[in-house]
Copies of this chain bind each other. A is one copy, B any other.
Amino acid sequence: MSELIVWTYDWVPQGPRGFVRDLRLRWACEEAGLSYSVRTVPFTDRGADHLAHQPFGQVPFLSDGELEIFESGAGLLHLARKSEKLMPRDPVGEAQTLQWTVAALNSIEMVSVPWWFLEVTGAADNHLSGWLASRLDHMENVLKEREWLAADRFTVADLLMADVLRVARVRSFGDRTATEAYVRRVTERPSFKKAHADQMAHFATADQLRS
């Protein structure tokens, strides 16, 4: 099997640590038992070299032998093709995994990330709050009825949705107990804990190298 490399920044400030999206790819590799290494690009200087790998100046991107792929959601679906642990192989299970992966990206994160952006940039009145609350209400109704999003088992769709929801959740959008339990259930998995700890250690080492 070709070599998998997860690319992330060499350093980031404290705020985003534990949330940089290389975590998603580390986590998926851990779940699937795929061996991988982590390499870095400079956080402070994102020139033509970086843009040739990631045209929006972000991380992560994934190398898989000769192939390279950016967008964490695309990287996850690419990894899911390598391991049944991330996505079932029957057409219905695969379609359910695909639809919920895209739902995390385009129905939840499309509202939660801009909502968060408005929060941190200090808009007086966050006009996306009602829309986000409505989307989270729909998710709560879904998660009241089932343990996992697709095919009655853990898939890469749960990995991504839980990661998306744990960001939206920290700002506390009411008492959505099924969503809370879901995020807890998914992020208590050993592979999440390892990926999270590894990312925190990666950036802590970067601090030591700087000081």
Interface residue ranges, A against B (CB under 8 Å) = 51, 55-58, 64, 66-71, 73-74, 77-78, 91-92, 95-96, 98-99, 101-103, 105-107, 109-111, 113-115, 117-118, 121, 123, 125, 127-128, 131, 135, 138-139, 141-142
Is chain A's interface secondary structure helix, strand, loop, or mixed overall?
Answer: helix
Contacting residue for A113 out of B71, B91, B96, B110, CB 8 A: B110
Name the residue on B nearest A71 (C-beta). Answer: B102
| 11 pairs, CB–CB < 8 Å, chain A vs chain B | A51-B138, A55-B141, A56-B103, A56-B138, A57-B138, A64-B95, A66-B92, A69-B96, A78-B95, A78-B98, A123-B125
Is B105 a contact of A106 with CB atoms below 8 Å?
yes
Is B110 a contact of A106 with CB atoms below 8 Å?
yes
Which of A77, A91, A114, A139 has the most chain B CB atoms inside 10 A of its CB? A114
In the complex the two chains form, what is the Cα distance from A22 to B105 in whole Å? Answer: 19
In the complex the two chains form, what is the Cα distance from A102 to B114 in whole Å? Answer: 17
Is A128 a contact of B117 with CB atoms below 8 Å?
yes
In the complex the two chains form, what is the Cα distance from A143 to B77 in whole Å? Answer: 25
- Chain B residues whose CB sits within 8 angstroms of the CB of A68 once the complex forms: 95
In the complex the two chains form, what is the Cα distance from A138 to B57 in whole Å? Answer: 9
Minimum CB–CB distance for A130 against chain B, Å: 9
- Chain B residues whose CB sits within 8 angstroms of the CB of A99 once the complex forms: 69-71, 74
Name the residue on B nearest A101 (C-beta). Answer: B74
- Chain B residues whose CB sits within 8 angstroms of the CB of A107 once the complex forms: 56, 58, 71
In the complex the two chains form, what is the Cα distance from A127 to B119 in whole Å? Answer: 10
